[in-house]
Chains A and B, each alone.
Chain A
């Protein structure tokens, strides 16, 4: 069964450094998402992406965050200048359509640790 893949599984970065998290969505899916889960807290929506542009973003997704689909397969999340509070598990998801009834399929996540 096709699946969403994320790399790396664990990223350790110094505070203030830039980090790029990578995702390969399911090949026939058109909608892409990033979520994050800070340790001990609920999974939170960050951003949705369709047709090479952001569809919706949360308050968390401020100017230090950006997303890109640089080619036909990858979907990336960039954090420009990382802060300690960016430490979290980041999940990528994809879906065939953007309808509320359409399930989103998740990757295994990237654990980001900011030192």
Chain B
């Protein structure tokens, strides 16, 4: 069975400082991992994905994540936070085999960006 643990329910950073959102996963197979972002009253937008190619994955809006198998982690980072980054972030795992792979979500991390 697959699962995801997001270690922080709430992270607050100042604008212009680095962002670190932590995620650990558990999977029986070689996992595919994703980060999604949800802005208020909006849907879930894909930020980036890891699918067994490069372990450092770059996404939209300057975000990136590093897959570390030895630590079963997939932390999300950004060098410099912007006010528009304030949102809820979800770490997500998907694993096969299966006809239609389902996603398993973490509990989410709410990112607050202050001036």
Contact = CB atoms under 8 A, between A and B. Distances in A.
Interface of A: 4, 6, 31, 33, 35, 41-45, 48-50, 55-56, 58, 91, 93, 95, 98-109
A55 B43 contact: no
B101 interface: yes
B43 A103 contact: no
Interface residues of B, number: 29
Given A44-B105, A106-B45, 16 more contacts: A4-B43, A31-B100, A35-B105, A42-B105, A42-B107, A43-B103, A43-B105, A58-B102, A91-B43, A91-B44, A100-B95, A100-B98, A101-B32, A106-B43, A107-B43, A109-B43
24 contacts: A4-B43, A6-B43, A33-B102, A35-B105, A42-B105, A43-B105, A45-B104, A48-B102, A49-B100, A50-B99, A50-B100, A55-B100, A56-B102, A91-B43, A93-B103, A99-B101, A100-B29, A100-B101, A101-B51, A103-B46, A106-B36, A106-B45, A107-B43, A108-B43
A55 to B, nearest CB: 4
A38 B98 CA distance: 26
Contacts of B95: 100
A56 B27 CA distance: 18
Nearest to B4: A42
B24 interface: no
Contacts of A109: 43
Contacts, number: 76
Contact of A43 (B46, B51, B90): B90
A56 B32 contact: no
Interface string B43-67: 1111001011000000000000000
A102 B101 contact: yes
A50 B95 CA distance: 17
Contacts of A106: 36, 43-45
A98 B101 contact: yes
Contacts of B45: 106
